[in-house]
Every structure is written in structure tokens, then in C-alpha cells.
Amino acid sequence: MRFSQYFIPTFRETPSDAEIPSQKFALKGGYIKKVAVGIYDLLPLGLRVIRKVEQIIREEMNKAGAHEVLMPSMIPAELWQKSGRWYRYGKELLRITDRGEREYCYGPTHEEVIVDLVTNNIKSYKQLPQNLYQIQNKFRDEIRPRFGLMRAREFTMKDAYSFHASPECLDTTYQRMYQAYTQIFKRCGLKLRVVSADSGAIGGNASQEFMITADSGEDAILYCDCCNYAANIEKATTQLSTTSNEKPNALTQVSTPNQRSIEEVSSFLNTSPSLLIKTLVYNYIPNADLEGETFSVAVICLRGDYELSEVKLGHVLDARVLALASDRDIEDTLKAPVGYLGPINLPTGVKLLVDDSVATIVNGVTGASIADTHFTGVCAGRDFPVNSIVDVKTVKAGDACPECCSGKLIQERGIEVGHIFKLGTKYSESMQAIFLDEQGKTQPFIMGCYGIGVGRTAMSAIEQSHDDRGPIWPIQLAPFEVIIITAKAEDPAQKAAADDLYNKLLSAGIDVLFDDRNERIGVKFNDADLVGAPLRIVIGNKLSEGWIEFNFRLGEKRGVSTSVVYDETVSIIEALRHPID
RNA sequence: CGGUGUGUAGCGCAGUCCGGUAGCGCACUACGUUCGGGACGUAGGGGUCGGAGGUUCGAACCCUCUCACACCGACCA
């Protein structure tokens, strides 16, 4: 491609709302253009990167036995009503009405459509397993889209769905997808960490997330410094020391005027936050209650040095809607002042959940449900019931690994680029998707589902590899593999040499960009840094002496004789394309 | 959904307090000089000042209402 004839609108200044490197360079380098909140144009440069990611995905998915389809982005409400998600999915789902008052949604995911497709066309175990995928745009009306393509509302996703007659068969495909995903991100040149995850609104049991590690990642992940344990913070658990040698003291009421928070109370009573029991009150609507608006109340006790995980709590309560109760609500239902709540002497009928971190506390401290008053010498089980022991805490760095005895958890940030689930029969049952097994009996399909964020994968590459001038693309994703620059565009000798090399590299099947613009060389260097090609070839004033310059995007520079420049370029690109492990 | 802030040329911004026919830098066009890390000069083109209503002889500026965008928060007992 010749730069002068191409469309790469770069900017000298960065748009002021860019927050992270990938967003900054994608906008500044002319990869994307914002059209509306969370909605973007993909410009030629951006599209080239996206297409390369897609190509890698296609090759690996096909190799793993999946077949590509393309489902519509507009989905009739009827299908979503059948699965029940029409009612359960919140405002993220963009609902649209057509001229005939028929309702649709713009698909945020395609379980319903694929189940509908397969139900009507697969009737026998003999036709299983089947694994179908598509690369299609989704729309999710996110609360807070940000970071450019990283969390857009409209975005491109590869989603695959597999159908099986047995759990064992699902396991096999799930493993194959795991391998394929590992291979995909490896080929994209990305550093990866796989964690067990919460399966969220999609439902199902086992699930793993493929995280690209980067400081700007929106997810927190915890992994063991000793064994293979790794989990999303929404799912991570820890091992608590269970024994306490303390002799229980008597329950004692103490005055704690104006001491409300964990910090205030623990320093006032000169004790550790880990001996405090904090009590939180949530309102929620259960999943079973599809259209109701009536809230139930749950009281949760948690050790003072932990934060509550609303994701975990949502699962425990099987809640469709979950919100912290207001101060007024709390005082109405518990007849106790906020800041001095405690699990002792709760009104009858109130649902009390006790986090396992609290269940073994001896001689703890908690609010007395009376203003300016706490209890000390609190013992779980003796002073309040621990019938419902749950895990609703957010595990933190330094906690003990739940799977090996010696490890400690380390926290880092990651970008979720892929997610694989064992869905089971959740959708096939709700949508009556059945086949006949070997005994001639009807069975619901056992399903798996496997997603990759395409744009997010591309942006992660920038997050993992850039300098202050622009992206440093891995060659597999780079919009161009080589960029040729002439120092003086109008110099006939330079122009001829560049044209010749450009045409030869094109014929050799190398993605080459020739910056033939009549610009000062500084301008071209800066734009080249934004294009981020691994190799830049500069044809300048040493040409007359038979020399051309190789500048690698990573920094190294060296002179090359004109006689070997083509051969050397080809072998460098070949070597970059096929790294030796 | 709550808090805060911002809307003036394609991008980045000043002007608003104190009303008087709209400016700067970059980008763009033409010519000239330059030419190895975003050159310089001269001359140009481009804006219903987010929208609606009001006050006023006169509104980017004051008042009211709206819309949009951005950041923070929505884990606190």
C-alpha cells in the first residue's frame, strides 16, 4: 500500500478523553474513530488488525473441528422470551420495536438463536457432537462504556456453541476449545493467564477466562505463587485457619460513642479489624420471581478485614436484582441504628447469612443494635446462629491459596479476552431443545459456549506492547509488517529504489506500506511509529554509497547493502512470523 | 442511578466573572524557502459559540428549561 493513496488520518495531538495507551494510539494513529458512546468506525488500519485476529481465530477454530455460521444481529423477542432471559436481562439488552409493533433485541449473545437453529435440524445422537461458531457484532448497552474498543457497546465477538449427547463428550470439546484458545492467543503474540471464573448472566457451571495481563486491565485476578490455582477475584476463594485456642469470654456490652466504621471501632477498642464482625443489609429479588417488584431482605455478616463480593452474594441468594439497603430501610426492618448493626438479637424471621470467615470467631466485636454500643467477647454459634455459612467475601492478595497448603495468593490485573463455559442443559431445557438418544429417549442437548472479544484482543496487544510513540505490534497482528520510508520523496534515485523494493516485497506476499508522501522525514517517522510495523526500512542519503537502513520498531538500527536488502527483509519477516519456541 | 465538570472550526483550547458584530495553536489550500525525528514565511478557506425560550437597543457571555459528553461513585455500616 502506498501511504499517499491510503487513508490513515493520524493526529499530532491526542484526543483529550483517551485514558489508556491502546485507546490513545488507536485514536491518534487513525485506527478507529468514535461515532457515539461506545460505538466506533474501524478505519483501514484498525480493520487490518481486526482481520488478522479474525483470521487466526478462524484457522484455529476450524482446526478444532468447529464450523462457521453467521447468525443475525437482530433477534426476535420470542426466542428470548422462550429462554426467559427477555425478562431477566436488564437494561443492557437493547430492545427494538419494528413497524408492526413486533419486538426484537440486538443480540448481546446468541445462545437462543443457535439453540433454535440446532433444535430444528439435529434430532439424533448420531448427528452429535456439533460445534458452530460465528464472528459477529454484538450490542450491549453497558452502564459505562470506556477505553475505546476495550469496552465498547457495539463490538465484534467470536462466539461458539457446542452440542453434545453426554457430559463426557462436552468435556472433550471443552478441552479442545481450551487448547484452541491457548493457541490463538499464543499466535497473537500475547501473554496469557487462564483463570477460573464466575459464569455470570450466561449461567452454567464450569467456566474459565482467558486473561491478557496488563496494568490497565479491568479485572482483578488472583493466582497462587506455589501451585496452578488462578481465579477471577469474583470467584476466588481462600483457606481460612479454622482453629482458635482462645478461651471464650463473656459477652460484654461496651460504650463506643460515635465509632461506626471498622477502622474507628477497631482503633477505639484497640483490637484488630479481623476480630470485628461487620453486618450488611441487602435487598434483593430472587431469580424465581420473574416479574415481581417486591424486595426480600438478607443480613450478611463478614469479617471486618474483608469486603463483600456482590457477585458471590448474588449467587448465594440466586438474586435477579441486588442492592444495598438504604439507611431508612435498615432502621425500619432491623430496628437498629446504622453503624451499630450486629447479628445478635435480630428480629425473628430475618434471613441471616454468615461468611465462613466469621463462623469461627471467638471473642469478636460487633454492633449491639443499640446506638453508640458494641459487644465484645462475641462467639459465633454461641451468641448468634451460624446455620447458613456462605462464602461472600472478596479474597485479597496475601490470603492463603485454597488448593495447596503453602501458597499465598498474588493479585494482578487482566483483560478478559476469552471465556469458555460448560453450559449444561440450561438453555436446551428452557427452550425444549431435545434429541433422541440411543435408547430412543428424548434428552436435552448438553451445551458448551466459547467467546472471544476480537477488538479487545487487538487492543490488548497494544496494552502489552507499546512505547510513548505508539504500538509495538507483534508481527502477527501488525497492520503492516514492513514500512518503507524515503528521506526525500522527490529524489529520483531514492524513489526508484523504494519503488523497486516495495514491488518486490509485495510480490513476496509481505504486508508492506510505502510512505511515498512528500513530507519531512520527521513526520513520516512519527507516523511510522504509530503504524507500529516491526521493521522500518529507510532509504536516505546513504543510498548513493549503496546503503539502506533497517530500523526495528523495538529500537535496533543497522545499515544494509542495497544488494541484499530484499533477501534480508524476506528472511527477517519469515523469522518473525515463525518464532522458535 | 448519584456526584462533579465540560459543550466555541476536523483536533487541542482561550474568551463567559464585567454583554458591544468570534479568537489562538495544530490540521487544511496556494506560493516561496527548507528537508534524517511532527520546519519557516506570506496569503487564504472554514464556526447557526450543543439546543430552545427569556431579559436587553444589542447575548458565546445574564436567567430558565433541555440535550449531549466526560470523569468519579454506585463495596458503606
Q: How many Å from the CA of A32 to C1' of B60? A: 32
Q: Which nucleotides of B are covered by protein (CB under 7 A)?
A: 1, 11-13, 25-27, 34-39, 68-77
CB burial string A121-134: b at 16+ within 10 A, e below? ebeebeebbbbbbb
Tell me which residues from 324 to 343 on chain A have a beta carbon below 7 angstroms from nucleic acid strand B: 324-325, 327, 330, 338-341
Report the distance separating Cα A327 and Cα A418, nearest Å: 40
Instruction: Record the cell numbers describing residue A288, joined without a space.
Output: 424465581
DSSP-derived secondary structure letter, A2: B
Q: Digits of tens for pLDDT over chain A (581 positions)?
A: 999 999 999 988 887 778 889 999 999 999 998 888 888 889 999 999 999 999 999 999 999 999 999 999 999 999 999 888 888 777 788 888 888 889 999 999 999 999 999 998 999 999 999 999 999 999 988 877 888 888 888 999 999 999 999 999 999 999 999 999 999 999 999 999 999 876 555 555 678 999 999 888 888 888 888 888 888 888 888 888 766 777 888 999 999 888 888 888 888 888 888 889 988 888 888 777 766 667 788 889 989 888 888 888 888 888 777 878 777 778 878 888 888 888 988 888 888 899 988 888 889 999 998 888 999 999 988 899 888 888 888 888 888 888 887 888 988 888 999 999 999 998 899 899 999 999 999 999 999 999 999 999 999 999 999 999 999 999 999 999 999 999 999 899 999 999 999 999 999 999 999 999 999 999 999 999 999 999 999 999 999 999 999 999 999 999 999 999 999 999 999 999 998 76
**What stretch(es) of chain A map to CATH 3.30.930.10?**
3-236+411-462
Neighbours of A164 (CB within 10 A): 24
**CATH 3.40.50.800 residue spans of chain A:** 480-577
Question: What is the assigned CATH class of domain A3-236+411-462?
Answer: alpha beta
Residues A420/A448, Cβ–Cβ less than 8 Å: yes
Nucleotide nearest residue A39, measured CA to C1': B69
Looking at residue A513, its pLDDT comes to 97
- Measure, in angstroms, how far nucleotide B68 C1' is from residue A464 CA: 34
**A18 nearest nt, CA–C1':** B70
Query: Which residues of chain A (351-370) touch nucleic strand B at CB < 7 A?
Result: 367
Task: Please name the residue whose C-alpha is nearest to the C1' of nucleotide B69.
Answer: A37
Name the residue among A495, A497, A481, A512 with its Cα closest to residue A578: A481
Distance A16 CA to B55 C1' (A): 36
For chain A, the farthest-separated pair of C-alpha atoms sits apart, in whole angstroms, at 96
Closest nt to residue A278, judged CA to C1': B77
What is residue A319's three-state secondary structure?
Answer: strand
- Answer for A309: CB within 7 Å of strand B: yes
Query: Could you give the residue range(s) of every CATH 3.90.960.10 domain in chain A?
Result: 252-394
Judged by C1' against the alpha carbon of A527, the nearest nucleotide is B38
ipTM for this model: 0.88
Model pLDDT, residue A198:
65
In this structure, what DSSP letter does residue A273 have? G
Provide the CA A17 to C1' B25 distance, Å, integer: 19
Residues 24-63/A with CB < 7 A to strand B: 28, 36-37
Q: Measure, in angstroms, how far nucleotide B8 C1' is from residue A151 CA.
A: 30
Residues 534-553 of chain A sitting with CB below 7 angstroms of strand B: 538-542, 549, 551
Q: CA A474 to CA A80: how far, in whole Å?
A: 40
Q: Which residue is nearest to nucleotide B12 (CA to C1')?
A: A13
A521 CA to B23 C1' in angstroms comes to 32
Q: Is the distance from CB of A521 to CB of A487 less than 8 angstroms?
A: yes
Distance A537 CA to B57 C1' (A): 67
Pick the CATH number of A252-394 from 3.90.960.10, 3.30.470.20, 2.30.300.10, 3.40.50.720: 3.90.960.10
**Separation between Cα atoms, residue A58 and residue A48, nearest integer Å:** 15
Instruction: Classify A480-577 by CATH class.
Output: alpha beta
Residue A281 near residue A330 (C-beta atoms within 8 A):
yes
